[in-house]
Every structure is written in structure tokens, then in C-alpha cells.
Amino acid sequence: MKALTWQGKRDVRVEEVPDPRIEEPTDAIIKITSTAICGSDLHLYEVLGPYLKPGDILGHESMGIVEEVGPEVTRLKPGDRVVVPFNISCGSCWMCQRQLYAQCETTQVTSEGKGAALFGYTSLYGSVPGGQAEYLRVPQAQFGPITIPQTGADERYLYLSDILPTAWQAVKYADTPPGGTLAVFGLGPVGQFCARIGRHLGAGRVIGLDLVPERLELARRHGIEVLDVRELDDVPGALIDLVDGRGPDAVIDAVGMEAHGSPVGKLAHAAVGMLPDKLAQTMTDRVGTDRLSVLHAAIKAVRRGGTVSLSGVYGGEADPMPLMEMFDRGIQLRMGQCHVRRWTDEILPLLAGDDDPLGVEDLRTHRMPLASAPQAYEMFQKKEDGCIKVVLAP
């Protein structure tokens, strides 16, 4: 089959690789019909290269048709249409029983001290081949895949694999009071959904912040109040002034480790990228290499007693935090990898009707063949051609 493989920093290639096969009785084989490029994939394209090896298959936002199932997979059959959650969880361990699926004890990558295994996402999370390919082996298929209707555009359901439940969890964690104000830093795909979900779940006012014109315009189209951070000298101060002199009740950081406006963090990323893999791994794991400008701005902007919710990915272990300010202002901080299956039963009914309340069919800007994936990664990384979300068709 053809699959997108990592070959080095900013070097991904579509190659011929062996077809996946059933290896465990709880496996399934899925023929991929659509697979998306996630903002998290750009971390692999840039700073997380030391945890990859040439030939690793990328991709963790996938859906398709069941081709084959192992003998212990009784809830799926060939021909079923499914979305595949990006984290691999068994559904029955101690963590899964508490709906902490991103911490599944069956698939935890204990050798790296990490949580549940992820598709297409480095040795830190199990080196499981990803879904930017023609076929995908799905471990723990007795629980993971989400069965969806046979009809309807792929993009009505594809985002259940990651960014839609990730945004749903971020909004739930933000806990904006009914009628309150939610601010969303970063209007990439997750941030767009955070803003829309915030309104859907009862926030009286949602303010989105970004510096990319196309992202600001897309949010405006969905009734979101927007701020162009290029026009602001003091982003937290502007938000505080805009919301009763107190600041928003809740703030979501949907940006993460590669935020703009962090020259020291950018320099650290570049320096780590020049080191041998083993040393770079140690630096990435033990030393703060994140760009923290957005997180610090979120902490400064939220009102006293408010909540900051992190959906953007961070990777350093020694990142400096303004703990005195956080303590004094009584800020709550919630975060974590999304527990996809915890939220999908709540979201799925919103996708089945004709009204599309979350605007899932108004997010993708580019649909390209899998063969064009290298160009798509470059375009997405450089934010060229108005690119906000790319869906690949194998």
C-alpha cells in the first residue's frame, strides 16, 4: 500500500510499504477513505523528529471502511463505516472504567513514562503506524472505532477522530458559566471548534484571538468576536479591558508549544533540532523547550478565580510558570490529552442532522490526494494559500 512516511525534519514522502495485517485477536484492518493533517503533526514535521525514525507512518485523524476483524472483535464487521480515535484504549482497564481513555493502562507506553499509545505519533507513544495511508491496523478494535452512518460526507464525521472531541473537552474543562465569557487563543482547527462549541454549550460571549487573516475571517463567519493580536501591544490587558475590567471567565489555549512571539522558545527548538537524536530526546524531555507566550498571556488575561484550559500540546518538563500570580489570582488550570470516546456519544447526535450546528462542513480548506501529502504539509506549516485544514484522500 501507499503511506506517508517521515524521513527527516520537514521531509515526508509517500512510499510503498507492506500492507497491515491482523496481528492480535482484538485488531481490525480499515480501508482509509479520508485522513486529515493535524496541527500536532506539524510538531513531528519540526521539533519532535528525534523520536521518529525514517519510514515511520504518520497520521492520527482517520476514517474508513472495515475490511477485516480479529476473532475477539464482535462489535464490528466488514463493511462498517468507522472513525478511528487517535488514542488507542481498551475500554475496560482501571483508567478506561473512569473514562480516562488517554491514560489507558493496557496501551500505556510505560517505557517512556507516557499515557495511552497514539496512532502515528513517535516512539514516545508507541511507534504505532498511522493513518495517512491506504490501510490502517487498529489495535483494541473491540472498543475504539466509532461506528457512523453509511451515508453523509466523510467530513461530517472525520473530525470525531481528534479535533472535535479535543475541542469539546477543552470547552468542558474551561467550565465557562452560563452566559459568561470564553476567550480562545489560537483559531486553528481546534480553536475554531472551541469557539463554536463554547457558543453551543452556553457561553454568552466568545472571543477568538489569532494573527492569521483567514482564521480570523472563518471565526467571524460563525459569529465569533475576534481580536487580531498583531494590532495589540498588550493582549492580556486588552482582554481584561474588553470584559468588564476583570477578564474572561475562562480562557482556552489552543496553540501550544510552537506559539508565535516566543523568540527564546523558537531558538531552543532550533537548537534542539540540531542535536543528535539521543541528546535531543533528553533535552526535549527534561528541559523546557516550549514557547510559552500564549500560555502566559492566557494566565494573565483570565479573571480572578477563572479557569485556563489547555488543548494545545506542550512538551517540556522545566517550563517556567508564573506560580505566584496563578496562586494569588486563584486560577484553575486544566489540561490533558483528549479522552476521545468519553465525548463522542455527546457529539455524534449533533452530526447526524441537517443543520450542522458545529459547522463541521465549514472547516476544511483543502482536499488533496494522499500523493500530494508532502506539499500539503509544507503548505499547512507555512500557512500558505489560506490553508486551515487539509483532508487527504488515499
Domain match, 142 and 240 both: no
Domain match, 78 and 211 both: no
Task: Please name the amino acid found at residue 98.
Answer: R
Give per-residue pLDDT as tens, 45-101. 887 888 999 999 999 999 999 999 999 999 999 999 999 999 999 999 999 999 999
Domain match, 304 and 360 both: no
Domain match, 261 and 275 both: yes
Cell 482547527 sits at which residue? 189
pLDDT at 261 > cutoff 50: no
The stretch 347-362 carries a mean pLDDT of 94
CATH number at residue 361: 3.90.180.10
pLDDT at 22 > cutoff 80: yes
Domain match, 199 and 345 both: no
Range of the domain at 105: 2-162+339-392
Give per-residue pLDDT as tens, 293-304. 899 999 999 999
pTM score of the predicted model: 0.92
CATH number at residue 305: 3.40.50.720
The stretch 306-316 carries a mean pLDDT of 86
Domain match, 175 and 156 both: no
Give per-residue pLDDT as tens, 128-156. 999 999 999 999 999 999 999 999 999 99
**Predicted local confidence at residue 266, as pLDDT:** 46
> Strand pairing of 307-310 and 332-335?
parallel
The grid coordinates of residue 384 equal: 500558505
Task: Give how many domains the chain has, as a whole number.
Answer: 2
Residue 258: pLDDT band (50, 70, 90) is low
The residue from 299, 318, 335 where one domain ends is 335
Domain match, 70 and 91 both: yes
Arithmetic mean of pLDDT over the chain: 92
